[in-house]
Amino acid sequence: MGNNCVGSRNYTSNDGTRGSSVSSSYWWCRGHKKDAHKDGKKNTKAAETVQDKPPQVVKIESDEVKPPHQAKQTNPPSDQTRAQPEKPKKPRHGKKPASAGLKADSVLLRKTGNLKECYNMGKKLGQGQFGTTYLCVEKATGKEYACKSILKRKLLTEEDVEDVRREIQIMHHLAGSPNVISIKEAFEDAVSVHVVMELCAGGELFDRIVERGHYTERKAAKLARTIVGVIESCHSLGVMHRDLKPENFLFVNQQEESPLKAIDFGLSAFFKPGLSKCFIVSSPMCMFH
């Protein structure tokens, strides 16, 4: 029954007599106890290290990163510990230099009318370092003019402001010269200074030179005579242009015999006879080489 073995075993005593049979389970128990007695010291030490509690389960985290929708959040953060969204950083700009200001009369030093009340602005005609030239039409007469708009934020120093004032003053001073562009009027608002002047629709002398490839000696001499006449007229009125080049001479119209006029007096200056300051003027003859 159970794990007990059925049957008997005969044994012989020390005096030679044969004993009665004993159950095999008896011998198994005696042999087991005998072995246990021999190894008592060893098993005692082993018994001391036997743990009667199961080992703790160690969770090995996987190196794989779970996607956000599979991650479990046991303790949701409170309102105080919840991470705030990072605000976009503002781009760093360098220190802006001081300009002439945005007062309406800071350049011309006088109050003027509103440009858009008198003129309709049209397409862009040209671009310079400080200003942009646009086509404009006078509302009262429908006549076309050129309007040079100079941004006041580009006038970084008092010297730049003074150059704009002097340019307008010189153009008024040279009014009536046949080969100098004529000024009509000037306006100033909070953003720009606007100079309305004669429209020269024939294009630059530089473009004519490039288009023709070369000029005959007779034709080049005629244009050079006109340029020298402009210089003589300016000098006689105490003005030095100081920026003579083919780009600063415009034809009035597209005709071959169109009058030629000098423009852009932004670098011009007044002078008096005997002035020690040296002014460098480009030679007009080098334009036709």
- What are the distances in angstroms from CA 152 to CA 77, 100, 114, 233? 55, 6, 16, 31
Q: Could you say which of 160, 189, 207, 243 is catalytic?
A: 243
- Spatial strand order of the sheet with 203-204 comes to 203-204, 249-251, 260-262
Tokens of 15: 């005096």
Q: How many CB atoms within 10 Å of residue 250? A: 25
Burial of 243 (0-12, 13-18, 19+ CB in 10 A): middle
Closest-CA residue to 137 (of 115, 124, 120, 149): 120
243 is catalytic: yes
Give the pairing type, strands 203-204 and 8-9. Answer: unpaired
- Packing angle between helix 24-38 and helix 40-48, nearest 10 degrees? 80
| Residues designated catalytic | 243
